[in-house]
Amino acid sequence: MRTKRPKTITFVIPCYNSAAYMDACIESILGGGRDVEIIIVDDGSTKDDTPEKADEWAEAHPDVIKVIHQENAGHGGAVMAGLRAATGIYFKVVDSDDWLDHTSRDLLMAKLRGFIAGDNLVDLVVCNYVYEHIQTGSQRVIHYRRALPTNKIISWDEVGIFGPGQNILMHSAIYRTQVLRDSGLELPKHTFYVDNIFVYVPLPYVKTLHYLPVNLYRYFIGREDQSVNEPVQLGRLDQQMRVTKALVDAYVLPDEIPSKRLARYMEGFLALIIAASSMFAVIRADDEALEMRRQMWANLYAKDVKMAKRLGRHPLVLASNLSSSTGRRLSVRLYRLAQRLYRFS
């Protein structure tokens, strides 16, 4: 009996009341070939016809598309459901309001097929992503030049220095599925911003990387109810702090990370998350928010005093934790300047 070949890659699309825009996302992936697996996770949608649309897509493309219907578990719960069901050798999450560039998708597929054919399974492939800003009509490409050699299989010891805005995010990462599973990745339910856990926790399990410099992922930004919009983030500060704690709890830096360059990168990433959490608490400035910030630092010191002191000296963390009222106002001004420069919300 002929053994069925595994799919090259699984694309998971978490959908929660996504009927207005999910079609464009699915269509952008579909042309990747029959060795693509698309898993649509209907995460308890009740306000529109997302469940029916998902089933229609699966009926039209049964060899490519699967659907999971589940009670609402949040973005992390949807991603984990997709990971448990994935049969692809590689794994990527595409949010239902985002999409993939067709040409870049085809180049990625050719690269992955080459890795598989050559029995050389790279653990993490990194591609560029593009901010598509609805309010201004502008685009901003996030690339990894100088941080990662292009079109070359490397180890962590060959990476360069990651510049501002060059963090490896869910938008840019294509993990080998088994790496995610081996890492013991678990994403909390009913929590936003878990994409930071998704990219961070598996990193020490990655032995080989490849940077394919194509503008693959198109990240839609600027909708009023979007999770990265500042008023939404301020209202969900407790969830931001939950994610920050998960990152702090994951590893003692740099002691538990064998590669010095990987440890440096992970420390910089964690410093960014701590700085963001501090900044949102300062902007809210109510007693509850400031108590959450205090507890964040208590957790960090409880984890490892040496690590806490190292992170406390990081420039981003210092700038977001100025103690005086004048210092806090300065922190907010610097944050507003970064918003204008980078248009990240």
Question: What is the CB neighbour count within 10 angstroms for residue 318?
Answer: 15
The DSSP line for 121-182 is --SEEEEEEEEEETTT--EEEE--TTTS-BT-EE-GGG-----TT----TTTEEEEHHHHHH
Q: Quick one: which of 309, 84, 126 has its CA closest to 210?
A: 126
Q: How does pLDDT run across 202-226, given as a tens digit for each residue?
A: 999 999 999 999 999 999 986 555 5
- H or E element: which one contains 332? helix 325-342
Angstrom distance (rounded) from CA 158 to CA 175: 19
- DSSP label at residue 31: T
Q: How does pLDDT run across 86-106, given as a tens digit for each residue?
A: 999 999 999 999 999 999 999
Average pLDDT, the chain: 92
Question: What is the CB neighbour count within 10 angstroms for residue 147?
Answer: 17
Residue type, 271: A
CB 91, CB 198: distance < 8 Å: no
Mean pLDDT score, 28-37 = 96
- H or E element: which one contains 91? strand 90-93
The fold of the 9-221 domain, in CATH, is Spore Coat Polysaccharide Biosynthesis Protein SpsA; Chain A (3.90.550)
CB 37, CB 11: distance < 8 Å: yes
Mean pLDDT score, 241-260 = 97
The domain limits of the chain are 9-221, 230-344
In this prediction the pTM is: 0.93
Torsion of CA 92, 76, 272, 157, to 10 degrees: -40
The DSSP line for 316-329 is HHHHH---SHHHHH
Residue type, 78: A
Q: How does pLDDT run across 103-123, given as a tens digit for each residue?
A: 999 999 999 999 999 999 999
pLDDT tier at 331 (50, 70, 90 boundaries)? Answer: confident
pLDDT at 35: 97
> Would you tell me the crossing angle of helices 22-30 and 102-117 to the nearest 10 degrees?
50
